[in-house]
Amino acid sequence: MAKDAIVLLKEDHKAMRKLFRQFEKAGADAKATKDRVARQIIEELTVHTYLENECMYPEVRRLLPEVEDDVLESYEEHHVADLLVMELVPMTWKDERFVAKATVLIENVEHHIEEEEQDWFPKVREGLSRTQLREIGAELAAAKETAPRRPEQPSALKKTLDAVIA
């Protein structure tokens, strides 16, 4: 049986938080570690953003129109994270701004994860049935198989590029 969509997304959040802590714990000398962990953060975030933007948010918006404002705010928060990711990708630990940029990305994403878990997920759980959440969970699991893992893949930052270029 498919996992509940919220359970699945919370597992992703947990994995990201673990990477955030690894990034922070790596001392100022562990530049190469910070670089490696930042790449992992970017990969996790790229997959997760794709799942939420392309599947979770549109599905919930369709089924539960009363949470539309939260969905719209989420798109904007992901958009800010996407912009930071695009700036971080070409950087290495040798860049003066690398750690600062990654730290701001982490702070932004932590804030967003917090809002989802404290505020948005409870509303969605309240508004949708277990069956609906499992159906979305199955869609998320399927989308994960083909999700982009690198932000420069065309399907990854589609919304960001649309917003910047359009």
User: Residues interacting with Fe ion, by CB under 5 A?
Assistant: 52, 116
Residue number with CB closer to Fe ion (53 or 99): 53
Q: How far is the CB of 95 from Fe ion (least distance, A)?
A: 27
Distance between CA atoms of residues 73 and 80, nearest Å = 11
Q: How far is the CB of 48 from Fe ion (least distance, A)?
A: 6
Residue number with CB closer to Fe ion (20 or 99): 20
110 with 14: CB under 8 angstroms? Answer: no
159 with 27: CB under 8 angstroms? Answer: no
Residue number with CB closer to Fe ion (33 or 115): 115
Q: How far is the CB of 85 from Fe ion (least distance, A)?
A: 13
Residue closest to Fe ion, measured at CB = 52
Residue number with CB closer to Fe ion (32 or 142): 142
Q: How far is the CB of 124 from Fe ion (least distance, A)?
A: 12
Helix or strand holding residue 79 (H, E): helix 68-88
